[in-house]
Structures are given as C-alpha cells and as structure tokens.
Structure 1
Amino acid sequence: MRTVGVDLAAEPVRTALAWVDWSSDGARVDRVKVGADDGLILDAVMKADKAGIDCPFGWPEEFVDFVTAHRNGHVEVPVGPTGREWRRDLTLRVTDQVVHDLTGLTPLSVSADRIGHTAMRCAGILSGLARLGRPVDRSGEGIVVEVYPAASLNRWGLPHRNYKRAANLDRLGNLVDALQAAAPWLDLDTCEEACRSSDDALDAVIAALTARASALQMTTTAPPEQIDVARSEGWIALPTGPLSKLPVQP
C-alpha cells in the first residue's frame, strides 16, 4: 500500500509532498519533495491508494450563503448575538468546530484567513483529480481525505505546538525524535534530514500517516446527520486509534 501526504501552501515553494510505502514490517518514507507543483501532486495522488491533504476542501455553507445574499442585495444580521458569536458559523466550518471540541485546536478560517488562498489552489487540484477520473468526495471517502497534522499529532499524544518556522528547529528535531520513538516501525530513510529541517516536510509525512489511518477506518468521519455538509465543506479526519496500530493491518 502507498499513501501520500500533501502539506499544501498557496504556492509550490512552501508545498511539501511525501510518499510512504507500507508493508507487514512497517512503513518507509520513500521520498519527500518540498516545492511540489500541481502536476506532481496530481501524479502522486493518482498513483496512491490514499492521500491526505492538509488544506480545507471547502468553505462554510453559511459563509457561501452570506456572500451570495450580499451580492444579491442585503444580508440579514441576527438580533441579539454579538458580532463574534454570529460570525462564528461564517468563519468556521462544521468540521473546524468539531476539531476544536475534540482537541482544543482551532483550524485556520478558510473564509477569514490567508489559508483561503491555499484553499483556492486546493479546489483546482481537486477539480484536476475529477478530470483525471478520480472525483473527490470531500467527506473523505475515496482517494483523498482532508487532514490537519497538528491535530493528528495531538490525538497520537505527540508534541503538536511551536515546531514551525526556522526559529523552532530545535522543537522540530525533538518532534522527529518523539515520532521515531513512538513509531519505531517508521523508516524515514533518506528523508530524515528533510523532516528535521523543514516543518512542511514533516507535516507532509504526518499527512501520509493520517491517510493510512483513514484507509484503515481509524479516523473520525462525519455522522449521518452531517454527511451532506461534509461533502460540501470538507471533513478533517482525526485519528481514533494509537499510532502503533497503523502498520498492523495490510
């Protein structure tokens, strides 16, 4: 089995892509590429059994309705709630709020933060997969699943804060050490140095590990009453089992 992880950014220069091969003995990171363009991402995902992409797959439905209403005339502002309260459903998707409830982490707002630029690129990549015959179910069924590496690390009991940016290279190295101790079956091979020097590279590996968990049905999924909104907005897969279980099943 091969899983792919994508730490997507608005431009290729900060986009990392990881390929992970799985066997009965464990997993090996075959390759990590920082500076991945759309063509390389599409090729990697098309050849994978499951891919995890760290980026919102859609926008909050209430935000889309709000913008549409504003374009067509005037929006209706609820009476009573403060601005922050009534804007919550405009800025956070259902899955973002679920992630916060389960982990205490709040994903970046796709409608009110710069992650929106990355989501626009992601939408184009998902469309590209559809054109190549692999349409994407944004709820996570099928070839691609939305992931959030920091939340995956949180669920696996690993350090998940303050490891990004050049100023935190020591913390990044400590996280790699913690990952290797928790998953001795994971062979970073020639990609270890990339993971120690680039948080984008490590996040791509974590995305690939989460894709494996999703393929094994070891992640959260949208409940029946939220499946329609998940197929519109996207749904972040959170691990539901220990990291040690990932290499057990074929």
Structure 2
Amino acid sequence: MITTLGIDLASQPRNTALCEITWDAGAATVTQLQLGALDDETLRRAIRDDHAKVGIDAPFGWPAAFVAALTGHERFERWPSLEASELAYRETDRFVHAHASKLPLSVSTDRIAYCAFRCARLLSGLDAPRDGRGLVVEAYPDAALRCWLRGSFDTARAPSYKGEAGSKRRADLVDILLSGLGEHFDIKDKWRADCVTSDDCLDALLCALVARAAERGETIPPDEDLSASARVEGWIHLPRPDTLATLTD
C-alpha cells in the first residue's frame, strides 16, 4: 500500500487544496480532500509524511535566461538581446505547449509568481530536485487532463473549467475522469461534488493522480537535451496518453 499527495498551491492558504489517495492491490481510495486553512506548516507536515510521491501545481523555478538577465541588470550590465518569450517561459513551458496545446502561465511575468514564491519556500531544505527525480513533481492539472482525455473529446479547443462559469464543464470532466479511472477507484460522494464545486479541489485530485503516474514511471521526463535546464527551471510532468485506466493496477 502506498499513498500519493496532490497540492493545488495558491499564494494564500484559503485557496490552497490538498488531496491524498491510497493505492492498494489494484484499487485506490481518496482518503483526504481539503480546501482552505492550509498554511505553510500544515503543507510541510503533509509533504514530509510517508508518501510515495507528491504532485504540486506550482512552478518549481524561473526561466534561466530571466534569472541571468536580472543578475546582470543588478550589476549594471547590458540587457540581453532576447525575445520576450525567452525571458517569460521555461523550457518545460514550451514542451507542455507542444505536447498538450496549452501554454502555462509565465512565472516571470504573470501573477503565478506569487504561488512560485510560496512553493520555493515550502520546498526549501527538502530533498526535492526540481526535475521531479525525488519526492515531489511539478504538475499542471489542465495539461494532464488534455493528455489523459485526449481521446474523449477535443480538449485543445474546449472551454475553461475554472471559476464559477466552468462548473458545468467541471461536472463533465469529473464524470469522464472517474469513468476512465474505473470501478476500482473510490471517492466519497461529497468529495466528488467538491471537485465539481471547486476547480481547486479538482486540481488537487489531478495532482495526486499525476504523482501516481510519476511514481509508476508513466510521465514524460526531460530528454537529454533538456535535462540540465529541468534541474534548474523545473519540469512539468505530463502523463503519458492511455495511462489513466492503469493507475489502479
């Protein structure tokens, strides 16, 4: 029996969600799903529990070119002659865009940076390689759905499942996701409803599923050309297609 943990990290505890799944003998059970009241110390304790893998929806690093540009700027050096996109996006962001038709938010130019600040603080001092070789992996729930459910409908052009306006979309996604996981995946009716009510809860569930896929070697690691940047910038672990139903094996 093993457990995986998923954290939909936000800059504030009230918008952070956590999901734990127990995997045992061809079956799986969601044993915890919580939204809010998740401060840094609570999350640190959860991460340090005896989990096989932890998936976190937050950038683990910044674009190397952006960091180098800021370091040079501090020293009054000339600003590099780079395209804005080279400073805004990591190699893993470009990889996700190519493989899942979804461009992640820029950690150097968008508000997701506040979440990244918190993630760096949480993982500081842990044995947590940014490329996912250790306990934690960087997850991107929206892109994971696009990989797992690619054969079900056109996820590339589907409407967003975020916010109040996305509740109908979430209801459809939860039905398809749980159907794909199969009859040996168990989740309480209340928590299933929470995943429809809250995109944070759904994302936490997806992070725990990505953690399971990573633990089984069913996510896509960086290739040799990208491994060096992944160790510095972080690496979003996308699940391999057609692996959803095998997670409970």
Instruction: Give 3-state SS (helix, strand or coil) of 1:122's partner.
Output: helix
> Using the alignment, how far apart are the partners of 2:63 and 2:140 within structure 1?
17
**Residue matched to 1:82:** none
8 A Cα contact 2:73 2:79, kept in partner: no
Instruction: Give 3-state SS (helix, strand or coil) of 2:137's partner.
Output: strand
How far apart are residue 209 of structure 1 and its match?
0.2
8 A Cα contact 2:21 2:30, kept in partner: yes
Counterpart check, 1:116 vs 2:113: yes
8 A Cα contact 1:58 1:232, kept in partner: yes
Superposed, 1:157-168 pairs within 5 Å as 157=149, 161-168=159-166
Between the two proteins, the alignment pairs up a number of residues equal to 237
Counterpart check, 1:146 vs 2:144: no
> Using the alignment, how far apart are the partners of 1:171 and 1:20 within structure 2?
24
Q: Bigger CA drift: 94-103 or 23-32?
A: 23-32
Cα 1:228–1:77 change in 2 (3 A) is: closer
1:60 to 50, 60, 63: 63
**Aligned amino acid, residue 199 of structure 2:** D
**Residue matched to 1:156:** 148
> Using the alignment, how far apart are the partners of 1:161 and 1:182 within structure 2?
20
1:37 to 34, 39, 64: 39
How far apart are residue 76 of structure 1 and its match?
3.5
**Residue matched to 1:176:** 174
8 A Cα contact 2:195 2:201, kept in partner: yes
**Aligned amino acid, residue 13 of structure 1:** R
> Using the alignment, how far apart are the partners of 2:45 and 2:193 within structure 1?
24
**Residue matched to 1:11:** 12
**Aligned amino acid, residue 205 of structure 1:** L
8 A Cα contact 1:219 1:241, kept in partner: no
Counterpart check, 1:51 vs 2:48: no
Instruction: Give 3-state SS (helix, strand or coil) of 2:23's partner.
Output: strand
Over aligned residue pairs, what C-alpha RMSD do you find?
Answer: 1.4
> Using the alignment, how far apart are the partners of 2:39 and 2:97 within structure 1?
31
How far apart are residue 102 of structure 1 and its match?
0.8
Q: Bigger CA drift: 234-243 or 203-212?
A: 234-243
Structure 2: runs of 5+ lacking an equivalent: none
> Using the alignment, how far apart are the partners of 1:76 and 1:209 within structure 2?
42
Instruction: Give 3-state SS (helix, strand or coil) of 1:27's partner.
Output: strand
Superposed, 1:78-117 pairs within 5 Å as 78=81, 86-117=83-114
> Using the alignment, how far apart are the partners of 1:179 and 1:162 within structure 2?
16
Q: Bigger CA drift: 68-77 or 175-184?
A: 68-77
> Using the alignment, how far apart are the partners of 2:114 and 2:78 within structure 1?
24
Structure 1: runs of 5+ lacking an equivalent: 79-84
> Using the alignment, how far apart are the partners of 2:53 and 2:237 within structure 1?
13
Identity between Structure 1 and Structure 2 (%) = 39
How far apart are residue 25 of structure 1 and its match?
3.1
How far apart are residue 161 of structure 1 and its match?
4.3
Deviations 1:158-213 (A, max 9, x none): 65741110122111111111112211232111421211211100100000000000
Instruction: Give 3-state SS (helix, strand or coil) of 2:5's partner.
Output: strand
Instruction: Give 3-state SS (helix, strand or coil) of 1:224's partner.
Output: coil
How far apart are residue 227 of structure 1 and its match?
1.7
How far apart are residue 37 of structure 1 and its match?
1.5
**Residue matched to 1:197:** 197
8 A Cα contact 1:54 1:148, kept in partner: yes
**Residue matched to 2:73:** 70
2:129 to 137, 146, 160: 137
Runs of 4+ in 1 over 4 A off after TM superposition: 158-161
Instruction: Give 3-state SS (helix, strand or coil) of 1:76's partner.
Output: coil
**Residue matched to 2:186:** 187
